[in-house]
Structure 1
Amino acid sequence: MPIFNKEEIKIIESFSNINKENFRTNILSIIGNWKISNINSYDYLLMKEAFNWRRLAIKIIDYVECDKKLYSKLLDWIFTPHLYATFSENGFRELIGYEKYNAHLSYFYGVTIERCLISYTEEELFKRQISYGNFVRYTPEDVYSKIYNISYNELIEEFLSKYNLNPNNLTEIEFENFTYWCFKKRVENSEPSKLASDTKKGTMFLYKFLESENKRLNSTEKIENNRKKKVDFAF
């Protein structure tokens, strides 16, 4: 069970009457009232800028007592690939607050779209390799060089050195930080036109992935009705 301080427990308990009708609103209301200090470090706030609300939500529902059926419903909702947690943009922003909303967008563009851009570029180079009859071979190094004009090894070494991290023991959160750090580096070093183009590529890859996911979900016979709904955006 996550360890929270007294103030955090008080916030959770003020919205702890969670049921199948109000769970979305209550969890986001808890997050909206959550106090985040610029002094402390949090695993759900990358570089004190990019907010992964899902990671915090998981901690909260692990603390709240609820039956297995509701817990499963909560998890399904949290991992539904939707930019605004199945709310409208305004509804989501009002529940979590303006600052957390902006930090959420920083995570979306800095981690989700950045990873999609990497996947898009990898796919692009692979297609080029095939068109050359596999006479030209591309490696993961080429993907990072194409996007950031610097090799992956140079990027990761700079990142590890800057934050004094052990290369043999990197966690998922540290890899998320690395992705966000790469995003910030790209923003700093890119011309506006290239920045817009790269963002478009990442977004295109995301939509393509979601279309494929929709087909997979809708072609599966034994799935819940709520999983048959069209996925319209990812986190």
Structure 2
Amino acid sequence: MERKSVALEDDLKAEAQGLVASLRRRIQEGEGHWFLALLETIAQWRLPEEEVGERTFRYLIAGEAFDWLLLAERLALEIGDLVPQDELEELLFHGRAPLELDEDEFRRLIGAAKYRAHLNFYYGVLVEEALQLAVEDEVVKERLTCIWKNGQVDDDVCERIYGATRRQLWQSFRHEKGLPEGEWADVQQLREFTYWLFKERLRRCDPARVASDTRKGLAKMAALEAARRRRRPHSEDG
């Protein structure tokens, strides 16, 4: 069984190398816009994680939440010399695609399965992070009117959303995942934790509360995007 697993991983790595080579060739030969070629490469990509240099890229969280921008970042290492740097930076740093695509077109390009996994990541990580920020704003605002309020803001936020302190939740997450105590958490592991918190919220809250909190997270995301646009007026004008 272990031998089969290693062989499958080797096959997926070889397949990924072939996809990278094909992507470079398509861009060099001018086969359509580079972003479309990138998305079509993502659609064919089957490797859930890999080591590139000293960095681990984990594209799939809990086997169901797909971070397509992380895969785009990894592929950018291979095509950075072939595409406009300003377009690449806008995509990787701000999530702004060089082409306008509606959701149906994006879904078609990356495939239905990856699109569903992308939605899991969008709601389970990005919206969940925004929900935490929105509740943090509420906690901080309340503390400004109550000078005797003590305790960690993070703990208040987590208790309101998930019913336990951040430390308690972190310990439960590590125990469930079999992670050693005291190990430093990187950005990807923190995103895995955020997705785990999302699943906990779905498990413990009634549907009306889940929907209300999700709307709050979406509203915070919209506010953050509006603020970002106001800070970058020249980019918006082209």
TM-score w.r.t. the length of structure 1 is 0.82
Query: Corresponding residue for 2:6?
Result: none
Shift of 1:148: 0.3
Query: Corresponding residue for 1:206?
Result: 221
Structure-1 separation of matches of 2:99 and 2:165: 35
Q: Counterpart amino acid of 1:66?
A: D
Query: Corresponding residue for 1:25?
Result: 36
- The superposition leaves residues 144-173 of structure 1 with CA deviations (integer Å, 9 ceiling, x where unpaired) of 001001111110001111212243311111
Query: Corresponding residue for 1:173?
Result: 188
Contact 1:78 1:85 in 2 (8 A): no
Shift of 1:229: 5.7
Tell me which of 39, 59, 68 is aligned to 2:74.
59
Aligned residue pairs total 217
Spell out the pairing of 1:64-103 with structure 2 (5 A cutoff).
64=79, 66-67=81-82, 70-81=84-95, 86-103=100-117
Query: Corresponding residue for 1:11?
Result: 19
Q: Please give the secondary structure, in 2, of the residue aligned with 1:79.
A: helix
Contact 1:23 1:74 in 2 (8 A): no
Does 2:142 correspond to 1:131? Answer: no
Q: Please give the secondary structure, in 1, of the residue aligned with 2:158.
A: helix
- The superposition leaves residues 100-123 of structure 1 with CA deviations (integer Å, 9 ceiling, x where unpaired) of 001001001000110111111110
Alignment RMSD: 2.8
Shift of 1:74: 2.0
Shift of 1:131: 2.5
Given the superposition, is the C-alpha separation of residues 119 and 192 from structure 1 closer, same or farther in structure 2, using an over 3 Å criterion? same
Contact 2:87 2:97 in 1 (8 A): no
Unaligned runs of 5+ in 2: 1-9, 50-55
Does 2:45 correspond to 1:34? Answer: yes
Contact 1:49 1:103 in 2 (8 A): yes
Moved over 4 A (4+): 82-86
Higher relative helix content: 2
